């Protein structure tokens, strides 16, 4: 019985197949989730982000945007929910 030997120079490895990179299709149904810090920066002003105490007051009073609480306790806000909440607070001063 003869032993199987690798071919010289090949090291016994199979040649690698060329890899093709295929672009993943963009999902249009995927939610964009913002961290609480991102939301506070967006709602803040030139002096800095919105204070967390203000955010918590809004949430306690039920006047803040919808939130998603993750199992680890972190808060996320869907971009669409934040935009709807902001749109609800927009008014035209000429009609007031």
User: Per residue in 63-72, pLDDT tens?
Assistant: 999 999 999 9
Query: What are the DSSP calls for 46-83, one per residue?
Result: TTBSPPHHHHHHHHHHT-S---EE-TTS-EEEEHHHHH
Can you give the pTM of this predicted structure? 0.66
Highest average pLDDT, of 3-7, 49-53, 87-91, comes from: 49-53
Q: Where are the domains of the chain?
A: 33-90
In the 8-state DSSP scheme, what is residue 48? Answer: B
pLDDT at 66 (0 to 100): 96
Q: Is the pLDDT of residue 11 over 60?
A: no
- Average pLDDT over the chain reads 85
User: Per residue in 16-35, pLDDT tens?
Assistant: 666 666 666 666 778 899 99
pLDDT at 68 (0 to 100): 96
pLDDT at 4 (0 to 100): 63
């Amino acid at each position: 019985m003869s032993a199987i030997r690798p071919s010289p120079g090949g090291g016994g490895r199979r040649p690698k197949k060329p890899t093709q990179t295929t672009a993943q299709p963009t999902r249009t149904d995927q939610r964009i989730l913002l961290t609480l810090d991102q939301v506070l920066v967006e709602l803040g002003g030139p002096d800095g982000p919105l204070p967390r105490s203000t955010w918590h007051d809004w949430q306690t009073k039920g006047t803040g945007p919808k939130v998603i609480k993750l199992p680890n306790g972190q808060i996320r806000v869907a971009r669409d929910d934040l935009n709807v909440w902001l749109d609800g607070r927009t008014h035209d001063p000429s009609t007031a």
